[in-house]
Amino acid sequence: MIKTLHGRLTAIVVALFALSSVLALLLTSSTTRAYAEEERQRLNASLAADLASYLKQEKLIPVTNANMEEGMEEIKRLMTVNPSIDVYLLDGKGRIVSSSTALDDLDREAVALEPIDRYLQPSPRLPLKGDDPRGGDPQVFSASRFRGGIVYVVLGRTEGTLVDALAGSYALRAAAAMFGGVALFSIFSGGYIFWALTLRMRKLVAKVDGLSTELAGTGTGEAPHGCDEIDGLDHAFDSMAMRLRSLVEALQQADTERRDLVANVTHDLRTPIAGLRGYLETLLMRGEALDPAERKDHLETATRQIDRLSGLIDGLLELARLDSARLELHPEPFVAAELAQDVLQEFRLRAKEKGVELRLKTDDGDTMIEADIGLIQRALANLVENALRHTPSGGWIEMAATREPGVVRLSVGDSGKGIAPEDLEQVFERGVRIEDAKGGGAGLGLAIVRRIVELHGAEIRVQSEVGVGSRFCLFFPVRA
């Protein structure tokens, strides 16, 4: 099947030229045959009259029983001069009385008089065809009336197909060759012109596909089978429009998330700032009246508020850095189980102070992955810190690094409060806080974890049950 537009246009032109050439040859053959018949009838217009005059002179007409046989022999003798004609003597009603052909060989016993009457009128419109007593299609003839009858001469037969006509006519062969040459020239020149005309369309398709690639990072995909340039452009445009719509929706979603994040962060920033201001104003106004223990308590509280502000700002900066298009990953191979042990070691002192048990679970499988070790460490630290914040004293936090078919799984589980099922879908959204499960915080930690996982082409899942605990699982493809 022809896929390109210029190929299809060329095929249409070829078909049209082939059809028009055949029609032209048929028309030429038909008109040539009609012209030949017209000229033959015109040139032999007096033939029947001359035969009638000769037969009358020889007293062979009118036909009688006495001269019938002699007349037939004379007609056969005359036919030796022009054997392509057939001569018939008709009575006044068109019945065949005598013939140059044996009467038993004829298919007709009579000839229609209407064409003869039209032929004998002054200035008849030629060619005129009458019945052929030997059967077949009507043929041109010459006719002349005499007293009591008609001399009717069939002027040869025009038969055969177009192929026969081409074989027997140099003019038709020359016309066919001319049509063929014109058709070939038109095919090649038309094909080149169509190719040149559709070149700009092909360039436009390439530009649209290139723009879609820039927008989506991938091309528009392969066009459906049998598509030409117009179908390809339509496919590329639809793909680009779909991608633009998804980008607009993503931008709108990002703008909504940004607004929500700003509102939540503004609230979270205002709280420590208000507390910090209150304690500092108290120190300024009543600093001399406070004993050293109270001043120390106020300063420690202010320091905690500063730390909280610093954590919020660091989270915002970290999230902005991860969202930046200029961020470059530095992947390197490392053993996930060893990294998990290092992360847990950072939190052992805090966990001991809170009365939370830290556990590490590994297996004998190969947990080698290739990723940015700094970002993965940050993600695991966020998960452990989140679990430590919401796990009560006497509880436990477990980090696991195990090998599964095709992936390495890193997970952080706890025996905390858990997350309600209706809140699981939005737990990774920026600025979203599940108060029953998480308490304070700006809701940036899990958003940072999800972004780090996405940057590595990995997958994150969460399992949780209220009152039992939660488990966050990260799945990294096995290093080839």
* Predicted confidence (pLDDT) per residue in 347-379, tens digit: 999 899 999 999 999 887 788 899 999 999 989
List the single range of 254-258, 263-267, 387-391 with lowest mean pLDDT: 263-267
316-359, pLDDT tens digit by residue? 777 677 777 677 888 999 999 999 999 999 999 989 999 999 99
Instruction: Determine how many CB atoms are found less than 10 A away from the CB of residue 162.
Output: 15
pLDDT band at 260 (very low <50, low <70, confident <90, very high): low
Does domain 229-323 fall under CATH 1.10.10.10? My reply is: no
| 8 Å CB contact between 376 and 457 | no
Backbone angles phi, psi at 407, to 5 degrees: -145, 165
Residues near 468 by Cβ (< 8 Å), separated by ≥ 6? Answer: 415, 418
d(CA 220, CA 286) in angstroms, rounded, equals: 70
Does domain 44-159 fall under CATH 3.30.70? My reply is: no
The answer, yes or no, to whether residue 474 has pLDDT greater than 70, is yes
d(CA 405, CA 362) in angstroms, rounded, equals: 15
The ranges of the chain annotated as CATH 3.30.450 are 44-159
The predicted pLDDT at position 394 comes to: 94
The ranges of the chain annotated as CATH 3.30.565.10 are 332-477
Residue predicted with more confidence, 223 or 409: 409
Burial label for 187, CB within 10 Å (0-12, 13-18, 19+), is: middle
User: Average pLDDT, whole number, for the chain?
Assistant: 80
The ranges of the chain annotated as CATH 1.10.287.130 are 229-323
d(CA 388, CA 445) in angstroms, rounded, equals: 13
pLDDT band at 41 (very low <50, low <70, confident <90, very high): confident
- Return the half-sphere exposure (C-beta side, CA atoms, 13 A cut-off) of residue 377: 16
List the single range of 45-49, 63-67, 121-125, 278-282 with lowest mean pLDDT: 63-67
115-166, pLDDT tens digit by residue? 999 999 988 888 899 999 988 889 999 999 988 889 999 987 665 555 665 6
| 8 Å CB contact between 101 and 134 | yes
Residue type, 405: P
Smallest Cα–Cα separation from 133: which of 92, 105, 158, 114?
105
List the single range of 10-19, 25-34, 58-67 with lowest mean pLDDT: 58-67
Mean pLDDT along residues 366-393: 91
283-312, pLDDT tens digit by residue? 778 777 778 888 788 788 888 778 777 776
pLDDT band at 184 (very low <50, low <70, confident <90, very high): confident
The predicted pLDDT at position 344 comes to: 93
Backbone angles phi, psi at 388, to 5 degrees: -65, -35
CATH number of 332-477: 3.30.565.10
The answer, yes or no, to whether residue 270 has pLDDT greater than 50, is yes
The predicted pLDDT at position 439 comes to: 40
419-448, pLDDT tens digit by residue? 888 888 778 876 555 554 344 445 678 888
List the single range of 13-17, 112-116, 211-215 with lowest mean pLDDT: 211-215
List the single range of 25-39, 395-409, 421-435 with lowest mean pLDDT: 421-435
Residues near 78 by Cβ (< 8 Å), separated by ≥ 6? Answer: 51, 54, 87
The predicted pLDDT at position 189 comes to: 81
Residue type, 70: E
The answer, yes or no, to whether residue 95 has pLDDT greater than 80, is yes
d(CA 155, CA 117) in angstroms, rounded, equals: 17
The predicted pLDDT at position 172 comes to: 64
d(CA 347, CA 325) in angstroms, rounded, equals: 32
The predicted pLDDT at position 440 comes to: 45
The predicted pLDDT at position 438 comes to: 40
- Tokens of residue 393, six digits: 């004293």
Backbone angles phi, psi at 93, to 5 degrees: -100, 5
